Amino acid sequence: MSYAAEVKKELTGLIVQTANAKAELSALLRMNGVTTLGSSQQVKVSTENAAIARRIYTLLKQSYPSITVEVQVSNAPGALNHHKTFAVLLENQVQTVLDDLGVDSFGLHPAIPARILNADNKQRSFLRGAFLAAGSVNSPEKANYHLEIFTTHEELADQLVKLMAHFNLPAKIAPRGKGYLVYLKRAEKIVEFLATIGATQSMLHFEDIRMMRDMRNSVNRLVNAETANMQKTANAANQQISQIQLIASAIGGVDHLPVKLRDVAQARLDHPDESLAEIGDLLEISKSGVNHRMRKLTALAKTIAAGEDYDLSHL
């Protein structure tokens, strides 16, 4: 089961008060789309998710006990058995229910009535219904964090963005095919969205994995930085040794160097893997002192390599 499916499974198991259930139903019906069946006063809501079909059925019976609701299951033509469509059929008081939920069966008026969203809990429930009907979220184990809700109505996308902004969730809109994506990219905001719509366990799971990923990335960065520093130190040491060997060959050995330069040169040859700070500790001088003497050796090596004259007494 995908992470998004796990989130929706948790959400479909939540118990909500009737007032909040209507807000969730309003989103579920308008985001899934409702179809009016002829003049028989029937409305069908279709979904490929059995849990969501059960959710719609349960919330309808909770909110409108006297209505007749039926769930139908069918296979798409030519599809395998596991590709099923679930239709929730309302068979009486249809227009009353749709009006109460603020849903236009023709999709011409996507605006959400104020009474549906006049409390924080109703707004949370509406966002939950929108996510259940047309939302998705990447697994926190993936490289990129992404949560989205799709709608074919730009006005509804704008309303979802405003709703999410009310909970400090800075969603953005992007055109996608024949509709619009309302999406979040920041991991901490995806966590807050899951908490807002009531997916507490999924949110905790997301946060645990995110923290482990961040910790692992931090460790990798530290290891990479340390490796780079070690490589840099090794490269510098190899260059210094080559320069000292060039000097030794030209003057007949490092013993002919002035004492201070000789000690540093010999220490570098004897300890090729040590840093300059560690060589300083061996010679009981500061790192800056070692650096100063090593620069003199480097300048001497360059002078010798260029075939120019040099005077050891001036070093």
Condensed to tens digits (0 to 9), the pLDDT of residues 117-166 reads 999 999 999 999 999 999 999 988 887 899 999 998 899 999 999 999 99
**290-307, pLDDT tens digit by residue?**
888 888 888 888 888 887
DSSP state of 76: P
Q: Which residue has the higher pLDDT, 212 or 147?
A: 147
DSSP string, 101-148: HT--TTSS--PPPGGGGSSHHHHHHHHHHHHHHHEEE--TTSSS--EE
* Token pair belonging to 221: 């960065």
- Residue 167 CA to residue 163 CA, distance in Å, equals 7
The answer to whether residues 297 and 243 touch, using CB atoms and an 8 Å cutoff, is yes
The pLDDT confidence band at residue 107, using thresholds 50, 70 and 90, is low
- The sign one gets for the Cα dihedral 6, 12, 15, 20 is positive
- Residue 158 CA to residue 180 CA, distance in Å, equals 10
**259-280, pLDDT tens digit by residue?**
888 888 888 888 888 888 888 8
Listed residue (153, 169, 147) closest to 112, CA to CA: 153
The pLDDT confidence band at residue 174, using thresholds 50, 70 and 90, is very high
**Does residue 97 surpass a pLDDT of 90?**
no
Listed residue (116, 119, 139, 145) closest to 129, CA to CA: 116
Q: What is the mean pLDDT of the chain?
A: 85
Model-wide pTM > 0.75: no
- Residue 65 CA to residue 148 CA, distance in Å, equals 33
Question: Quick one: what percent of the chain has pLDDT higher than 70?
Answer: 91
Q: Which residue has the higher pLDDT, 258 or 48?
A: 258
